[in-house]
């Protein structure tokens, strides 16, 4: 059995011996993206499992072991991890936990310390915690984020974004219920099988896979009806994680709406861009800026490939690229607004409004100050500038009732349908006026 080894500061390390014996548990955020990320790490010789435990026991564990002034995503992520360790499914002496550290000024950098404190309270201080960070915050001899893993992770994010994007455009209209989910699962499977053999991890093969995925989704029979499109923005965890947002996507579908969810890649690009901007705003080494700019260029090329594939499809709407997204915030927020989702959150709302999706749910977790400023705090300004926008901020916390959240979304949807009718009436009126005009000689 692997020996427990601590570093100079007393931190329990994940050792090379543990790599052979321990199962690494990963909290869930985006099911398809994370399934691929987990497989990539498994292919590097780690035993990894993505958690699927959900519901009240997870929230209860979070509330029991995390201080009640912590932001809600911390309560859920830590609750999910502790609940899994205590579930009896695993040998607690043979598991390690993974958590991300953003390295920014936001509390997400400190979730790891909250998790260690929670483990101590739960009598599980012998469980090692691995930090996933790109800022050199913590190292473990038994776990390394190599360049190879990071490169493959970029592919997983792109594939995940594409499946999410086309899935959202097809699912509300599918003729055979459940077919979109089946196709999405098939796509994830063939990508994972390919990745296990080292396939699909080059630019060229990625582009081919994009077309293959799009063709699979295009072949799903759909009804021709029109539905209200609803954008979903907000703090990254509650925006994406069904556990965080009480299955918001499912709820929107059940209400006859089409969810429009921005991809994860823009968030990654936003984080890299922030490091570049830091050097201009606060000073720093030119080499750091040069590396960030290289990375941005590299990843934007991949983003363009995804956008081009969607445009080529002649069926699916393509999102704008990162530069277009960034251009929307001019006159609203400066680049220094980068805690939490920072200017990206406002930019996503603006992009949605500009691309015909003025109906937006802005997900706000309890205790998240940065996103209250760039999310809820910007809604008034956006309404002033775009009176037809229809944005609702929904709070997520352990005390908020699902029924209350859903009623507020239903009200937003009723407004959306009213606005759509008004818009259609105005269109019809101007069409009649155009037809009544005498033809020019
Ligand atoms: S963005 Fe908000 S919810 Fe996320 S860590 Fe920061 S404060 Fe907490």
* Complete domains list, the chain, with CATH: 16-145 (3.40.50), 228-261+338-441 (3.40.50)
339 Cα: distance to centroid of ligand 1 (angstroms): 8
For each of the chain's 441 residues, which pLDDT tens digit applies? 789 999 999 999 999 999 999 999 999 999 889 988 998 899 889 999 999 999 999 999 999 999 988 999 999 999 999 999 999 999 999 999 999 887 777 888 889 999 999 999 999 999 999 999 877 788 999 999 888 888 889 999 999 999 999 999 999 999 999 999 999 999 999 998 888 787 888 899 999 999 999 999 999 999 989 999 999 999 999 999 999 999 999 999 999 999 999 999 999 999 999 999 999 999 989 999 999 999 999 999 999 999 999 999 999 999 999 999 999 999 999 999 999 999 999 999 999 999 999 999 999 999 898 899 999 999 999 999 999 999 999 999 988 889 999 999 999 999 998 887 887 788 788 888 878 876 655
What is the bridge-based pairing of β-strands 23-26 and 95-100? parallel
Atom from ligand 1 closest to the CA of residue 235: 1
337 Cα: distance to centroid of ligand 1 (angstroms): 14
**Which residue's CA is the closest to the ligand 1 atom numbered 2?**
368
Helix 179-196 vs helix 31-43: angle between axes, to the nearest 10 degrees?
20
State the pLDDT at residue 165. 98
The torsion defined by the Cα of 368, 343, 262 and 59, in degrees rounded to 10, comes to: -10
* Residue 9, both tokens: 């500061």
179 Cα: distance to centroid of ligand 1 (angstroms): 35
State the pLDDT at residue 342. 95
Q: Is the CB of 235 under 6 A from ligand 1?
A: yes
**Which residue's CA is the closest to the ligand 1 atom numbered 7?**
368
234 Cα: distance to centroid of ligand 1 (angstroms): 10
33 Cα: distance to centroid of ligand 1 (angstroms): 21
Q: Is the CB of 374 under 6 A from ligand 1?
A: no
219 Cα: distance to centroid of ligand 1 (angstroms): 40
Q: Is the CB of 129 under 6 A from ligand 1?
A: no
State the pLDDT at residue 439. 61
State the pLDDT at residue 429. 85
Q: Is the CB of 165 under 6 A from ligand 1?
A: no
**C-alpha angle 355-379-307 in degrees, rounded to nearest 5:** 25
**Which residue's CA is the closest to the ligand 1 atom numbered 3?**
368
349-to-251, 273, 359, 392 alpha-carbon distances in Å: 20, 19, 9, 11
392 Cα: distance to centroid of ligand 1 (angstroms): 19
């Amino acid at each position: 059995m692997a020996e427990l080894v601590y570093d100079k500061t007393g931190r329990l390390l994940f050792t090379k011996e543990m790599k052979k014996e321990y199962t690494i548990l990963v909290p869930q955020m985006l099911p398809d993206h994370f399934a691929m990320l987990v497989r990539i790490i498994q292919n590097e010789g780690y035993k990894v499992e993505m958690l699927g435990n959900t519901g009240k026991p997870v929230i209860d564990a979070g509330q029991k072991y995390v201080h009640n002034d912590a932001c809600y995503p911390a309560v859920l992520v830590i609750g999910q991890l502790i609940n899994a360790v205590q579930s009896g499914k695993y040998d607690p002496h043979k598991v390690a936990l993974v958590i991300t550290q953003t390295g920014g000024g936001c509390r997400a950098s400190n979730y790891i310390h909250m998790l260690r404190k929670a483990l101590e309270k739960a009598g599980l201080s012998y469980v090692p915690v691995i930090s996933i960070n790109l800022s050199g915050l913590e190292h473990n001899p038994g776990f390394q984020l190599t360049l190879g893993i990071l490169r493959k992770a970029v592919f997983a994010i792109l594939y995940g974004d594409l499946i999410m994007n086309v899935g959202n455009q097809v699912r509300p209209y599918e003729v055979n219920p459940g077919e979109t989910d089946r196709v999405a699962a098939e796509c994830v499977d063939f990508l994972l099988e390919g990745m296990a053999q080292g396939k699909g991890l080059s630019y060229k093969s990625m582009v081919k896979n994009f077309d293959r995925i799009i063709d699979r989704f295009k072949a799903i029979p759909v009804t021709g009806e029109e539905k209200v499109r609803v954008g979903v923005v907000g703090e990254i965890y509650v925006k994406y994680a069904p556990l965080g947002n009480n299955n918001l996507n499912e709820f929107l579908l059940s209400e006859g709406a089409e969810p429009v969810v921005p991809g994860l890649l823009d968030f990654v690009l936003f984080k890299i861009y922030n490091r570049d901007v830091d050097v201009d705003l606060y000073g720093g080494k030119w080499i750091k800026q040069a590396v960030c700019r290289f990375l941005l260029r590299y990843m934007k090329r991949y983003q363009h490939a995804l956008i081009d594939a969607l445009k080529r499809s002649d069926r699916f709407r393509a999102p704008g690229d990162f530069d277009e997204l960034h251009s929307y915030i001019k006159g609203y927020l400066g680049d220094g607004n980068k805690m939490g989702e920072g200017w990206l959150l406002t930019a996503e709302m603006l992009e949605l409004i500009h691309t015909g999706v003025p109906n937006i749910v802005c997900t706000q977790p309890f205790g998240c100050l940065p996103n209250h400023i760039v999310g809820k705090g910007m809604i008034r300004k956006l309404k002033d500038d775009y009176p037809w926008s229809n944005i609702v901020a929904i709070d997520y916390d352990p005390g908020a009732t699902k029924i209350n959240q859903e009623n507020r979304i239903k009200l937003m949807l009723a407004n959306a349908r009213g606005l759509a009718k008004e818009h259609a009436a105005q269109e019809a009126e101007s069409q009649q006026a155009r037809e009544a005009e005498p033809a020019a000689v």
